[in-house]
Chains A and B, each alone.
Chain A
Amino acid sequence: MYDKLWLIPFFPLLGCIINGLLGKRFIKNEKIIGAIGTGAVFLSFLVSCKYFFQLLGDSVKSHENIVASWISVGNLQVDWGFLLDPLSALMLMVVCGVGSLIHLYSIGYMHGEEGYYRYFSYLNLFVFSMLMLVLGNNALVMFVGWEGVGLCSYLLIGYYFEKQSAGDAAKKAFVMNRIGDFGFLLGLFTIYWTLGSKHGVWTINFTEITANAHLLSGDMILGTSVTTVATLCFFLGATGKSAQLPLFTWLPDAMEGPTPVSALIHAATMVTAGVYMIGRMNVLFVMSPTTMAVVAMVGALTAIFAATIGFAQNDIKRVLAYSTVSQLGFMFVAMGVGAFTAGIFHLMTHAFFKACLFLGSGSVIHAMHHALHKAHLDDDAQDMRNMGGLRKKMPITWATFGISCLAISGLPFFSGFFSKDEILWWAFASTRGNMFIWVIVVIAAFMTAFYMFRCLFMTFYGEQKTNPKAKDHVHESPWVITLPLVVLAGLATVGGLIGIPHVIDVAHIGNKLNAFLAPVFQHSQELYKIEAHGTASTEIMLMVFSVIVALAGITLAYVMYRKNPELPGKFTAKFPTLHRTVFNKWYVDEIYDALFVNPTKKLGIFCWKGFDVKVIDGIVNGVAKLVGVIADTLRHTQTGFFQNYALTMVLGTVVMMAIFILN
């Protein structure tokens, strides 16, 4: 029944290999390369759909498909195995669905690129890795995907490898992810070792970990509970992959990659891996209230911190990047307060609207680039200050971008409204939530509405500020680009209907998503009594409040960027230091350089030139020299005169006899 799960990651892998090996020399034709790449992901999508619906109608909600043994050493048995349950099924739909659309989009966007085949090969490899991450039935197969997406992220950020900044960004992304991976591994070791040595369950299989997690309660390590230590380690992994404090700085730089990459990897899928991982291991996380609190707090702080930086950026992609960091923070808040369904819900809706936003920005950049190129100008095609007024020129892009802005701001009945509101409600009412987190998240929501509409106004409204020479060359993009935009905008609009909250469910549709994911989350929520409790009127009041907050943000943006466009300039003139600090991302990069990067380099130099050369080799060469000197001195005794040797011999004999007698 479920024994062909391996087909899902197989197709993109095949696509990657075909395009990678044959693309340059043999296929050459862009259309065929694009079709192979897109087709591979679409095939995975079809298979995913089949299994998704099969699972819907199945009473058993968890199925494994073991393909082969991978590592088998003593009590460590790891398989190449896949797991289909509601959580992975939903992720499959998001990854393959959004992935297909972005592949389609790339056919148009990457047209004429020299490394066309390379791009599609990498992008397929990414989808393969992401599917391994999602489908892995044990932590190590997940880790294959986990590091695999990091690799693809590296390859695709560095796609324009001739640019210094792209190379730097790629390396930074991989290294920061590796710091997270360090945490992931430690978490894995801790769980494996404790379950095995204390309870005789040697396993890293998710189903078995879930079934045996309760054994860990009461186990201590380093004076804290094992689950706290392990989940904090896992969470470190999540902060790396999902760009949370303190490891978020790689994501904005990752915008060096082609825009569809930013949409797929750095918005819709890879960066949500941390959230998914917590969902996958929710049983372990709920066992540690400490970790849950940390997760929620880090998420909330990231949400607001990244939003502040989003205020001051002029590069359209950077605004979206910080917005992604901030939205991921929302998801972690959800996970931290035990609202797992809400977190996954927001993951899904965010995949729709943020992918749409990124692709929309790509459409704009594509058009701008084209126009500037035609006019032989080298103005920045991503700087919003060169845009404005594109609404008329690019109506489809504008409409879809606008819809997504409404969705991310959380205006009623758009998808983001439902998911964000559920998070807010849980932050407020959950047994693991608190007022403080709620307040922070509400402020972040306000800021989101503000900077997203700032972005919308600067790009599409007002006067067109593009260089007059290029102005008229700006056109709407071709259908391969606009079609994905329309589909995603559609999903961003109605995608929230699968998770209608009970209080406003007048048509009694029911919260489909909640019911669907219940087999994964309900058990641990019930066991640890995690629930949102409050009256219906409170819930509705909060809902209205959050809509007001969003509208306030939009209004402020309207006032500052439409009504009185001179206001922002006045503001920055009044608080130059504040503006500079925010514009420079609170100098976090510089602080990290000073605290970690440079000292490590200095330590490396010290170890090499100080210790290796001076101390160790110094001693070795010193001994060699000493031997040389002694030999040189002793050489003089080798006079070659027989008398001298005879004398020495006699003296020696006398001394030895003396010792012998005296003893």
Chain B
Amino acid sequence: MTDHLLSLMTFFPLVGMLIILFLPREADRLIKTVTLIITIIVFFISLPLAFDDVFVTSSAMHYTEFANWISIGQYFQMNYNVGIDGISLWLVMLTTFIMPIAILSTWHAIDKNTKGFMALALLLETGMLGAFISLDLFLFYIFWELMLVPMYFMIGIWGGKNRIYAAVKFFIFTAVGSLLMLVAIIYVYYFSVKAGVPFENGFSVAHFAQLDIPAHLQTWLFAAFAFSFAIKVPMFPVHTWLPDAHTEAPTAGSVILAAILLKMGTYGYIRFAIPLFPVATMQFTPFLAFLAVVGIIYGALVAMMQDDVKRLVAYSSVSHLGFVMLGVFAMNLQGLSGGLLQMISHGITTGALFLIVGFLYERRHTRLIVEFGGLSKVMPVFAVVFMIVTFSSIGLPGTNGFVGEFLILVGAFESELRVFAVFATTGVVLAAVYMLWMFQRVMMGKVTNPKNENLKDLSARELAIMMPLLIFIFWIGIYPNTFLDKMNPALDNMIQQVKGKQQIAMMVEDMDQTVTQITVND
């Protein structure tokens, strides 16, 4: 059983999708229930991973599976090569955890072509889980593209008024990025074969990481990967697909997009771009850290002025993921584990925020801030939930938002990115401004719009959706070690390797310079 746990977990949704396809089209509630059960089963399949203490002691890949998949003669080999370590562990858990919540949120929100939506959602889950456990770059690429399609349709079919524009924009941005990555992947493979790596290894990341790729090549390859991931993060200035996609996507789509899909970008940096091209990472660090900090401040400033709650939350994601990127490029344990923790936290908090916006939208069919006001009076339970999530997003100590942000800033401060950290810290102030201003306009004051006078407070189902998220908001805030302990060994190992290679590269460069100088002197 544990031998194939990852495969079982990853492909169970796919099996579920087939089941859904055989259900009658009209059986709306049945389809939703079955999908919910499937996602819950997937969650329970993945649960043993969270309790496995092997991650605390070992930085290696676990639960690995390996099989030859596609081979073309002696030239091309692609393997089914999967595994999990402390870096991917919590992202996998986040995925299986968020999916049932997202499905539950569609109960009243999705009423046209439910069958299609649920089938796509399950396909998406397979794609996301597959991407997180892939140890073969080509396999990763397949899952990566697999995620793109369902999300495109989710936005394009079940989205709001401007859905077509948003869906196409989402698709084009992401596709352009992934094509560049594909070229880079193939080039790395070509290089590895030339360097004498046995082609049976296929696109194994572990083997690629051992390659000694010349600096000038690394620059180009890293750039291709980095560009693709930057779009997904999204980093300033390639973030503009995100507000549109979020605003138009149905609630469940937004939740999945924010909680998990956005993490693919930052995960890609940690898992692929940095370990494969450590020397190029060094060159790009100031540039990417700069963009990250611009993103933090820029995202916050734009979020502040939004009149649509959903768009505001979308821009806040730009800001929060800027923090993650800063932590990642600090290239020390605090920064990286802060970044990784912030990815999980952001998934929970922003997921919760999109659900909250969804609750409002289902009641009023609008997301414009001016339409609301004074809701605390009519929806007191909702007010409490919203308030907790708001402060988690602001990063109040004791909630999840704080720990990640703090670690990131400490990490950045310890690294060469000190000045960036100072500017990033201003994001802490701005976050309070845009969130509280929004909260005030939506929840406080008198009820001025008669349409808001009789809004129903949260239903039991809605509260049940929010509860698990609230629990983790406090859990991560008060005892983050549950998560940190398991991610630290893997991150530490990765940092050692990358740093080691960077040092060697710097030494070689120094030697080259010395040699050149000697030659010149001669």
Contact = CB atoms under 8 A, between A and B. Distances in A.
B333 interface: yes
Contacts of B478: 70
Interface string A612-650: 100011001000100000000000000000000000000
B444 A167 contact: yes
Interface stretch (B130-138, B211-219, B266-274, B409-417): B409-417
Nearest to B484: A73
Nearest to A68: B479
A140 B409 CA distance: 13
Given A74-B333, A175-B436, A189 B444 contact: no
Interface stretch (B144-152, B284-292, B427-435): B427-435
A74 B436 contact: no
A443 to B, nearest CB: 34
B345 to A, nearest CB: 13
Interface in B335-384: 337-338, 374, 376-377, 380
Given A171-B436, A608-B302, A612-B240, A161 B403 contact: no
A190 B412 CA distance: 12
Interface stretch (A142-150, A486-494, A558-566): A142-150
B398 interface: yes
Contact of A161 (B337, B426, B445): B445
| Most chain B CB neighbours (cut-off 10 Å) among A140, A167, A193 | A167
A516 interface: no
A71 B480 contact: yes
A482 to B, nearest CB: 33
Nearest to B165: A621
Interface in A51-81: 68-74, 76
Contact of B304 (A68, A72, A185, A601): A601
A261 B172 CA distance: 55
Contacts of B391: 151
Nearest to A602: B305
Contacts of A167: 440, 444-445
Interface in A151-201: 151, 154, 158, 161-164, 166-168, 170-171, 174-175, 178-179, 181-182, 185-186, 189-190, 192-193, 196-197
Given A73-B488, A167-B445, A178-B432, A189 B440 contact: no
A70 B302 CA distance: 34
Nearest to B244: A617
Contact of B428 (A181, A616, A624): A181
B407 A189 contact: no
A603 B481 CA distance: 39
Given A76-B334, A147-B396, A193 B414 contact: yes
A161 B376 contact: yes
Contact of A148 (B243, B398, B485): B398
A182 B397 CA distance: 13
A548 interface: no
A588 interface: no
Given A74-B492, A179-B429, A608-B305, A69 B481 contact: yes
A578 interface: no
A600 interface: yes
| Most chain B CB neighbours (cut-off 10 Å) among A69, A189, A601 | A189
A189 B443 contact: no
Contacts of B492: 74
Contacts of B376: 161
Contacts of B437: 171
B437 to A, nearest CB: 6
A604 interface: yes
A616 B239 CA distance: 9
B460 to A, nearest CB: 14
Interface string A119-148: 000000000000000000000100110011
A32 interface: no
B407 A71 contact: yes
Interface size class of B (residues with CB under 8 A): 35 or more
A7 interface: no
Interface in B98-135: none
Contacts of A174: 432, 436
Contact of B410 (A166, A192, A611, A616): A192
Contacts of A189: 409-410, 413, 421
| Most chain B CB neighbours (cut-off 10 Å) among A24, A73, A617 | A73
B409 A185 contact: yes
A572 B221 CA distance: 75
| Most chain A CB neighbours (cut-off 10 Å) among B240, B377, B407 | B240
Given A182-B428, A616-B240, A604 B305 contact: yes
Nearest to A158: B444
A605 interface: yes
B229 interface: no
A192 B411 CA distance: 11
Contacts of A69: 481
A143 B301 CA distance: 26
B25 interface: no
Contacts of A657: none
| Most chain B CB neighbours (cut-off 10 Å) among A70, A74, A162, A608 | A74
Contacts of A68: 479
Contacts of B298: 607, 611
A239 B217 CA distance: 52
Interface in A1-59: 24
B305 A605 contact: yes
A147 B374 contact: no
Nearest to A151: B396
B169 interface: yes
B207 interface: no
B446 interface: yes
A603 B304 CA distance: 10
Contacts of A140: 397, 406
| Most chain A CB neighbours (cut-off 10 Å) among B333, B426, B429, B492 | B429
Contact of A193 (B337, B413, B443): B413
A147 B397 contact: yes
Contacts of B306: 608
B425 A185 contact: yes
B383 to A, nearest CB: 9
A73 B397 contact: no
Nearest to A146: B397
A161 B444 contact: yes
Contacts of A158: 440, 444
A88 B407 CA distance: 27
Contacts of B484: 71-73
A10 to B, nearest CB: 14
A602 to B, nearest CB: 9
Interface in A188-225: 189-190, 192-193, 196-197
A167 B376 CA distance: 12
B407 A175 contact: no
A186 B426 CA distance: 10
A175 B398 CA distance: 18
22 contacts: A24-B380, A70-B481, A71-B407, A74-B332, A76-B407, A144-B397, A147-B397, A151-B396, A161-B443, A162-B377, A162-B446, A166-B444, A170-B436, A171-B440, A178-B432, A179-B429, A182-B428, A189-B409, A197-B414, A601-B304, A604-B302, A608-B306
Interface of B: 169, 172-173, 237-238, 240, 243, 298, 301-302, 304-306, 332-334, 337-338, 374, 376-377, 380, 391, 396-398, 402-403, 406-407, 409-410, 413-414, 418, 421-422, 425-426, 428-429, 432-433, 436-437, 440, 443-446, 478-481, 484-485, 488, 492
Interface of A: 24, 68-74, 76, 140, 143-144, 147-148, 151, 154, 158, 161-164, 166-168, 170-171, 174-175, 178-179, 181-182, 185-186, 189-190, 192-193, 196-197, 600-601, 603-605, 607-608, 611-612, 616-617, 620, 624
Given A604-B305, A607-B302, 7 more contacts: A69-B481, A147-B396, A161-B443, A166-B444, A189-B410, A190-B413, A612-B243
7 closest residue pairs by CB, A with B = A74-B333, A604-B305, A167-B444, A604-B301, A144-B397, A189-B413, A161-B444
